[in-house]
Amino acid sequence: MQRFDAIIIGAGQAGPSLAGRMTDARMTVALIERHLVGGTCVNTGCMPTKTMVASAYAAHLARRAADFGVVTGPVSIDFARVRARAQAVIHKARGGVERWLAGMPGCTLIRGHARFESRDVIRVGDEQLTAPRIFINVGGRAVVPPLPGVDSVPHLDNSSLLALDRLPSHLVVVGGSYVGLEFAQMYRRFGAQVTIVERQSRLIAREDEEISDAIRGILAGEGIAVRTSAECIRLAPGAPGVTVTVNCHDGSPDVVGSDVLLAVGRRPNTDDLGLDRIGVATDARGYVQVDDSLATNVPGIWALGECNGHGAFTHTAYNDFEIAAANLLDGERRKLSDRILGYGLFIDPPLGRVGMTERQARERGRPLLVARRPMTRVNRAVEKDETLGLMKIVADAETRQILGAAILGPGGDEAVHGILDAMNARVPYTDLQWAVPIHPTVSELIPTVLRDLKPPA
Ligand SMILES: Cc1cc2nc3c(=O)[nH]c(=O)nc-3n(C[C@H](O)[C@H](O)[C@H](O)COP(=O)(O)OP(=O)(O)OC[C@H]3O[C@@H](n4cnc5c(N)ncnc54)[C@H](O)[C@@H]3O)c2cc1C
């Protein structure tokens, strides 16, 4: 039996940083990883996709070069080079974390699948480890939905699509949410025909309708077929590839693609961890239940990152590490419930989001103020000839706190941080109205939009 001060299961977005803080505090830590150090974000998530989104943007801009008075030859895609770029970024990032861990005094990286033997004992292969503190940071994986015919055809998820070394001729993306939309646009820009099939009546139905509609318009404008209200999706072998039957209200009932990506959500990697053996509570979908300090119902065991169901993002996993470390090592009392959630959808133009949608704000039943501005009325967007999208802010009419915002437009993922910071500082929106932002930027319109806040119609 090997003894440590702490055991961390999973070297994704919270585990390595937590190991760093704990070993700095002179604790011994076992960090267990069954696959690739860096987890989803580094290997099959954020980093490869955003690298490929950058290639896709370059292709898009090159095709539009004449609009800017730039003369180019015909634009073509060297897909091997696109993939090599993404692989280089992954290898550099993963290697950096591996080297950091290897040089971390007091940290032992153990390779293999971890399972609980008892409340304080973890088994990895033939080895047994024990510690008074155990942190679960096992992340999640793509769901394979129980669609009729799903076992009769080869299907892709984010990992296998990124591993594919050929460009699909026609990619059918089942699932019109964050992961699916990013892949849809980038593969379209690489030259594939792309169809998005979504069960709901609109794309990313969690967002306000006008945001969903604008995103649909952006994607459709690039020649992506969007099939919403696909209530009865079935898969079958097609010639060539896969037939996806789409019981939509309009259009052909069958879409025949060369490849199908299933992007309908994620599930936590908690099904083979031995949690039932030690009584750690999970919800019906397998997410580990945690309190406001990320502690599970079993003393001495915490759950961080995507597996606790409180955020499916790298920054939320990292923030979980910050909360756990601050409480355990710095004597602070930081709470999960203090977090204001922000996130991005990295299509082009990107969507930056923070806090509530207007629909969520309305559900609170308090007086609201709403303002919006199309990108056609943002100078920087006009100058860049990237005027698709809009910005929208929702505030509480009585407290004057900003409740949420969406910025869909050039630099929207960056510009939204002005609002995210103001929300975290808990200042009333009136404090931002007289700021003097830099011209010409997308952010410079934030005070203007705030001055336009009115009760919604
Ligand atoms: C295509 C795609 C694009 C994305 N883009 C973004 C983005 O742009 N921005 C963003 O914020 N988020 C993005 N995400 C989400 C982000 O990648 C995840 O939310 C984040 O990686 C979660 O971090 P984590 O530490 O919880 O888990 P992970 O990063 O998944 O790490 C968990 C680790 O635990 C290991 N593990 C699991 N079970 C065991 C076990 N029993 N024993 C040992 N090891 C185990 C796994 O191998 C893995 O390495 C994206 C996700 C996908 C799929």
How do residues 9-37 score in pLDDT, each as one tens digit?
Answer: 999 999 999 999 999 999 999 999 999 99
Share the mean pLDDT of the chain. Answer: 96
pLDDT of the residue at 231? 82
Query: Does ligand 1 lie within 6 Å of residue 314's CB atom?
Result: yes
Query: Does ligand 1 lie within 6 Å of residue 313's CB atom?
Result: yes
Decide: helix, strand or coil at residue 122.
strand
pLDDT of the residue at 457? 85
3-state DSSP: the chain helix, strand, coil percent, rounded to 5? Answer: 35, 25, 40
Q: How many CA atoms lie within 13 A of 5 on its CB side?
A: 15
Mean pLDDT of 430-435: 91
Pairing, β 107-111 against β 114-118 = unpaired
How many other CB atoms sit within 10 Å of the CB of residue 145?
15
- Distance (Å) of CA 4 to CA 144, 148, 255, 267, 296: 37, 48, 55, 30, 20
Query: Does ligand 1 lie within 6 Å of residue 45's CB atom?
Result: yes
Instruction: Verify whether residue 91 is a known catalytic residue.
Output: no
Q: Ligand 1 centre and the CA of 441: distance in Å?
A: 33
pLDDT for 251 beyond 90: no
Q: Going along 107-224, which residue ranges are E strands?
A: 107-111, 114-118, 121-124, 127-130, 133-136, 140-142, 170-174, 193-197
pLDDT of the residue at 54? 98
pLDDT of the residue at 252? 79
262-315 pLDDT, tens digit per residue, is: 999 999 999 999 999 999 999 999 999 999 999 999 999 999 999 999 999 999
pLDDT of the residue at 110? 98
Structure tokens at 221: 């404008």
How many other CB atoms sit within 10 Å of the CB of residue 446?
26
With tokens 């990286």, the residue in question is 109
pLDDT for 322 beyond 90: yes
Query: Does ligand 1 lie within 6 Å of residue 16's CB atom?
Result: no
125-162 pLDDT, tens digit per residue, is: 999 999 999 999 999 999 999 999 999 999 999 999 99
- Distance (Å) of CA 138 to CA 24, 129, 202, 341: 23, 17, 32, 21
Q: How far is the C-alpha of 195 from the C-alpha of 184, rounded, in Å?
A: 8
pLDDT for 355 beyond 80: yes
Query: Does ligand 1 lie within 6 Å of residue 40's CB atom?
Result: yes
pLDDT for 240 beyond 80: no
pLDDT for 249 beyond 80: no
pLDDT of the residue at 336? 98
Which residues share a beta bridge with 227?
197
| pTM of structure | 0.97
The crossing angle, in degrees rounded to 10, of helices 15-24 and 314-329 is 20
- Indicate the DSSP class of residue 144: -
pLDDT band at 362 (very low <50, low <70, confident <90, very high): very high
Q: How far is the C-alpha of 436 from the C-alpha of 438, rounded, in Å?
A: 7
Rounded to the nearest angstrom, the gap between the alpha carbon of residue 221 and the centroid of all alpha carbons in its chain is 24
**HEC letters along 342-410:** EEEECCCCCEEEEECCHHHHHHCCCCEEEEEEEHHHCHHHHHCCCCCCEEEEEEECCCCEEEEEEEECC
Mean pLDDT of 341-356: 98
Which residues share a beta bridge with 127?
124
Atom 27 of ligand 1, nearest CA residue: 139
Query: What amino acid is encoded at 379 in this protein?
Result: N
pLDDT band at 238 (very low <50, low <70, confident <90, very high): confident
Q: How far is the C-alpha of 404 from the C-alpha of 395, rounded, in Å?
A: 7
Atom 3 of ligand 1, nearest CA residue: 45
Single out the residue of 315, 370, 56 nearest to residue 188, CA to CA.
56
pLDDT for 199 beyond 90: yes
pLDDT of the residue at 245? 82
Question: What is the phi/psi pair of residue 65, to 5°?
Answer: -55, -40
- Distance (Å) of CA 31 to CA 103, 108, 293, 326: 13, 6, 21, 19
Who wins on pLDDT, 245 or 336? 336
Q: How far is the C-alpha of 261 from the C-alpha of 276, rounded, in Å?
A: 32
Q: What is the share, in percent, of the chain residues with pLDDT greater than 70?
A: 99
pLDDT of the residue at 250? 65
Decide: helix, strand or coil at residue 421.
helix
Residues recorded for the chain: 457
Q: Ligand 1 centre and the CA of 46: distance in Å?
A: 9
Mutating to test ligand 1, I would choose from 8, 158, 314, 320 the residue with most ligand atoms within 8 A of its C-beta, which is 314
- Indicate the DSSP class of residue 156: B
Single out the residue of 127, 143, 119, 135 nearest to residue 274, CA to CA.
119
Q: Ligand 1 centre and the CA of 40: distance in Å?
A: 3
Terminal Cα-to-Cα distance of the chain (whole angstroms): 66
Q: Ligand 1 centre and the CA of 139: distance in Å?
A: 5
Query: Does ligand 1 lie within 6 Å of residue 113's CB atom?
Result: yes
Angle formed at CA 285 by CA 404 and CA 358, multiple of 5 degrees: 15
